[in-house]
Chains A and B, each alone.
Chain A
Amino acid sequence: GENVEQHPSTLSVQEGDSAVIKCTYSDSASNYFPWYKQELGKRPQLIIDIRSNVGEKKDQRIAVTLNKTAKHFSLHITETQPEDSAVYFCAAPRRNYGGSQGNLIFGKGTKLSVKP
């Protein structure tokens, strides 16, 4: 069945260091991979996404890489800051009843702590 595995479940880094979170997915037909950030007491918010026709996408200090052959994708945060502390979720499309790609199945999340 469909599955999204996310590692690590917790990650602690020193301010200024880089952080990497990895996810694997099971459906080889998946073509959209978003990352969400959820700060304490707030709703998840989309921070970056990548589609299967590219291998990497960057947005300032955040980047996502995709390896379709290995069916894994990663979130990279450089020069981490205390405000990056949050829970990060990866996701991939879920199959609808009719087999088409539908909404999202999420990984279990990574709690990132950035120490000043």
Chain B
Amino acid sequence: KAGVTQTPRYLIKTRGQQVTLSCSPISGHRSVSWYQQTPGQGLQFLFEYFSETQRNKGNFPGRFSGRQFSNSRSEMNVSTLELGDSALYLCASSTTGGVNSYEQYFGPGTRLTVT
């Protein structure tokens, strides 16, 4: 099976702009989670989508939003970008349920730089 893919891989934006990142999960996976990774802060959870519904959300401001489509692909949007939003954004997919439902497979990430 093809792995998790993310587009674009690199992005440079200016403060105040907005950005949309895309994630395509492994075929058959219905859960997609998003994380922000910055040096020293590890993997900070943004939100998780399952069957087009947000199932969980981390402690990020409302400028961060997401959605999931019927084919399980997910997008996240950041509006009014700030310098502190510069980070590696990772998405991860997992299966629908059963004993393997917690295993998460990560995409390569989108490196966002805000200037």
Contact = CB atoms under 8 A, between A and B. Distances in A.
Interface of A: 32, 34, 36, 42-46, 49, 51, 89, 93-97, 101-109
Contacts of B31: 103
A94 B55 CA distance: 11
A44 B33 contact: no
B103 A49 contact: yes
A42 B90 CA distance: 11
Contacts of B106: 36, 43-45
Interface string B22-65: 00000000010101000011110100100000011000000000
Contacts of A96: 55-56
Contact of B55 (A32, A97, A107): A97
Interface residues of B, number: 23
Interface of B: 31, 33, 35, 40-43, 45, 48, 55-56, 90, 92, 94, 99, 102-109
Chief secondary structure at chain B's binding surface: strand
A94 B45 contact: yes
B109 A108 contact: no
Given A34-B103, A103-B33, 14 more contacts: A43-B90, A43-B107, A43-B108, A44-B43, A44-B90, A49-B102, A51-B99, A89-B43, A93-B102, A94-B45, A96-B55, A102-B55, A103-B104, A105-B45
Contacts of B48: 102-103
B56 A102 contact: yes
Nearest to B54: A97
